[in-house]
Amino acid sequence: MNAINAALRSHLLRLAVLSTLSVIIGLGIVFAGSGAAQKAFGTMTAGWAVVNLVIVVVSLRNKQLPDLRAFREFLMLNVGLNFGYIGVGLALCLPSGASAVLVGNGAAVAIQGLILQVLDLYLLRQLPTTH
């Protein structure tokens, strides 16, 4: 179980660092951006990152280690959801004629989904395959 705990703690640290950077960058874009797409992108980026930071805090407070099999299944669900976030984000921002707000929000969702995908797949590879 120590390998699971170490992998999970490292994952949460990576998520916290990237989410903190996303809040800073997102708010910077909101305040420096001049267009609707930039402001929407910055707002969505910062908002999504705040949610991730809440998840980090709640996860760090939970002292109970997850069951390896259940945790791997949960991560696989996350991987599927991340593909969904990327797809929805691209669907919002790529169509011609999409509003600036949809383009900004869609780009932010796709990028955050990609970041989460990389983090979750990396964690999945770090976990032992058996107890």
pLDDT tens per residue, range 76-122: 999 999 999 999 999 999 988 889 999 999 999 999 999 999 999 99
**Cβ 20 vs Cβ 54: under 8 Å:** no
> Whose CA is closest to 22, among 61, 3, 54, 49?
49
pTM: predicted TM-score of the whole model, two decimal places: 0.89
- Residue keyed to tokens 């990389």: 118
- Sorted by where each begins, the domain ranges of the chain are 2-126
Q: Which token pair is 95?
A: 């169509």
Say what angle helices 2-32 and 36-61 make with each other, to 10 degrees. Answer: 150
Per DSSP (E only), the strands in the chain are none
Share of the chain above pLDDT 70, in %: 98
Farthest CA pair distance, the chain: 53
| Average pLDDT value for residue range 73-77 | 93
The pLDDT assigned to 67 comes to 83
CA distances from 2 to 6, 66, 74, 121 (A): 6, 11, 19, 19
Q: What value does the mean pLDDT take over residues 23-52? A: 96
Taking all residues of the chain, what is their mean pLDDT, rounded to a whole number?
Answer: 92
Q: Which residues contact 48 (CB under 8 A, 6 or more apart)?
A: 22, 108, 109, 112
Please say if the pLDDT value at position 60 is more than 70.
Answer: yes
